[in-house]
Amino acid sequence: MLFLGGVVFCYLVVLPPALQFLLNFNASEFNTQLRASDYYGFATLTMVATGVGFQVPIGVVVLRGSGSSRWTSCDTIGATRSSPSR
């Protein structure tokens, strides 16, 4: 479900401004012509990467539940950081 949410987010929010920027970057100097294979490759790669990025919270929950993290609570995280001495 999160993967699909990431793909939809990428399609609706990330791709339009990314394509707008990339296609108009230095447009006065170059004649930009977009091939369908390049567009589909870029769009697919971007959507898959964003979908995988949306899966990260599941990985954190799995690692946290399996006990493989070295911290047991938020208090421990704060205690392991060294505070600057004045």
Domain regions of the chain by residue span: 2-22+34-80
pLDDT in tens, 33-72: 889 999 999 999 999 999 999 999 998 888 888 877 666 5
Within the chain, how many helices (H) and strands (E) appear?
A: 5, 0
As a whole number of angstroms, the distance between CA 66 and CA 32 comes to 50
Q: b vs e for 26-35, b when ≥16 Cβ sit within 10 Å of the residue's Cβ?
A: eeeeeeeeee
**Model pLDDT, residue 39:** 94
What band does 4 get if pLDDT is binned at 50, 70 and 90?
very high
**Closest to 60 measured CA to CA, from 49, 48, 71:** 71
Q: What is the mean pLDDT of the chain?
A: 85
- On the question of pLDDT at 12 being above 80, the answer is yes
